[in-house]
Amino acid sequence: MVCLIASLSLAVGEQGATLVELNKLPFFLGREYFVLRSGRTQMIVQADRADLGPAFTYLLFDVQNARQSASKQRAFNFTPDAGFSSSALEVVLGGFPFTALGHRTETRWVAVDGIPSVEAVWWAGGVRVTERILPLGSGGTFRRSIQLEGAHLVGEESVSIRLSLPAGDLRREGSMLAYHSDSFRCALTMLSEVPVEVQPAKGYLEAGPVSIGPNARVSIESVLLTQTPAGDEKGLTDRVRAFQASTIEREIESTRKSWTRSSMLESGDAAVRELFDKARFGLPMMVADNGIMDAGIFEYGAQWVRDTSNTTLGLIHTGQFEIARSTLERVLNTMVSKEGVTMIAGSFVSPDQEQFDQMGELLHVLKAYRDWTGDDSLVRDHRQLLLALIERPLDPRFRDASGMVHNRREFWERAFSDAYELAYQTWVIQGLRDAADLAPALDAGNRAARWRAESGKILNAMLAHPKLSLVASGRLVKRRNVTGEIADVLAEIRGYQPDVPAKTEKHHRLLPDATQALPIAFGLVDPRSQLALRTLDELEGLWNTRWSDGGYDRYHTSVQPDQPGPWPFATCFILRAQHEAGLFDRSRRSLEWLNTVQGGRAGAWFEEIPSVRSNIKGCGLVPWTSGEIALFVVRHYLGVKFEGDQMVLKPALYPGSPPVKSDLRFRQGRLRIEIGSTGPILRAKINGVEAKPEGDGTLRLEVGFASGLIQINAADP
């Protein structure tokens, strides 16, 4: 009998350890994440579909410490023996503590009082449980609303709820349970008038019992107060003692007002509406108020100029101007050297390893910030730094007689023979164009003509150089060696894991590559041209290459050294190009996949959906994808762009789309757009005044346009 009990104990212990290990994995079948933030405290809610213990839990991080979020076990509330399971709600019915069961729990984003919140619905016996977690204010406060409904009870029952904190230094502070450590402090309390019992020794706070009858409802409000960094103990204690129900109401109202600044979209097209909402909800939660962000949560713990720039582009297009400015200030103050070298993974690299696209991405987002906010002070204040940045890729070390830039490092950060990279030419061209538009703010009017001429020279060489162009067989190509050969078939490439294609296969190709879509998405190549269409046809080879559930790989899967599988932000590159090309059937397929793929359902997209087992341990959440989604909806779907200083509208709704209304933050006011039907613009009104579109349906606004209502009533073609 003793041996049997010992065996059972061992089995239970082994099972607990296994569950913790599985919960430490960033990627697991059906696992989704919702990112919330209040001040410096970032809460990443994990929603599981498999039964690995509690199905609705969260991790807590300091959003200003990008390295901390590189792994789950660095979370403040992670413990080696239990992981972060202490964050789960327990509902006690008949003496048994129920918690959310994976395959029976539904989670989603909801707006509560206009504030993005995460909702989970699950069952505790015959009681339907609805819990909503709401981030409030900037002080590390999270409200957790719990509704208990006797939806399938036969008679009246007595129910209690339990909320826990991780094992450690737990104390009772009046009616609160408080946790103290050297790096983090927090406290739990109930706002509802129900009996509360604080149990530091057991690690939980219990509210109830309350009586619930058939179809009756009881609501209980709880609050988690956090202190990041820990500071002194008195800070949390004083806050706990001063906390009252009226405090939460003030924070709700303040938070609600802050969210009214966000850009919004209304449409009967559920996929477009849902994607835009998930992007606008998640983006400001992933970036700290001081501009710090982890480029790959649970994976990198580092920052790149390109990731931050493209994420910031999304923040601008969702109306989050304040955080966008902070990210740009951080990039300009800490991520660009005085010589114009840009940061890669938190450091600076040798000249032959620089990523030339980063100049263009940063100039592009700076211009977008100026266009949408009307504020060019960042450009003026960092003039010398930006001039060095702009001139950097024009240095003779990186160019030759063709005019194109070249080096050994390619866009996806592998090192090959010295060559011309399509993505680098694309972004240098775009960056020089944007620099010329910003020349007055840079006090560089005398350089604008040269920048435009150099961008034209690079574009001409990229498309038409007799020996070195990045066009072959009527399609754009990713890379051509400086000796003239197209870089495609590779004899050997280093692989990082034993099961990846670069290790397991002898033959590898570079083409096709998702970056071939970028010149089309930006209009450097006419999106309706044969060159664009043939290129997009070739990129279809990246869809479902070694899987069957959709999505594009970033490049030919045979050459993957680490992460084979469909890549959401690479799919966004292709989506934007498809839409510009009028390939709405393909664009729609890409859009629907992004909305329903694992990660996309919660709006926190994985860098890739792994196709080999080794990758699930390092598969992170990438804010850049949310930025791409926001950019697609505003720039390509609603068709709001800038040419120089002028706003241009050319909507491209999907054929048969229902009417669309958007309310976009713009300058000191709002840009409201109402689109009645699909097709080119035939008629329009700007603030009630008739406006004549151009022959191709383009509507140009006066340079001084500040805010107002634009009504577009096009007829279906």
Interatomic CA distance for residues 627 and 58, integer angstroms: 24
CA 100 to each of CA 203, 213, 479, 647: distance values in angstroms, whole numbers, following the listed order: 19, 21, 50, 49
* Helical ranges in 347-421 per DSSP H: 357-373, 377-381, 383-391
Interatomic CA distance for residues 83 and 72, integer angstroms: 9
pLDDT digits (tens, 9 = 90+) for 111-144: 998 999 999 999 999 999 999 999 999 999 999 9
Structural domains of the chain in order of their starting residue, each with its CATH number: 2-259 (2.60.40.1170), 264-637 (1.50.10.10), 642-712 (2.60.420)
Residue 472's nearest CA partner among 531, 408, 406 is 531
As a whole number, mean pLDDT of residues 99-105 equals: 94
The alpha carbon torsion through 411, 415, 420, 423 (nearest 10 deg) reads: 0
Query: What pTM value is reported for the model?
Result: 0.95
DSSP E strands in 269-357: the ranges are none
CB atoms within 10 A of CB 641: 17
Q: Which residues contact 490 (CB under 8 A, 6 or more apart)?
A: 416, 508, 509, 510, 559
As a whole number, mean pLDDT of residues 145-170 equals: 97
What is the percent of the chain with per-residue pLDDT over 70, rounded to a whole number? 97
Peptide bond between residue 655 and the one before it cis (omega within 30 degrees of 0): no
pLDDT digits (tens, 9 = 90+) for 18-36: 888 999 999 999 999 999 9
pLDDT digits (tens, 9 = 90+) for 200-247: 999 999 999 999 999 999 999 999 999 999 988 888 888 877 777 778
pLDDT for res 7: 34
Residue 10 has pLDDT above 90, yes or no: no
pLDDT digits (tens, 9 = 90+) for 608-629: 999 998 888 889 999 999 999 9
Residue 275 has pLDDT above 90, yes or no: yes
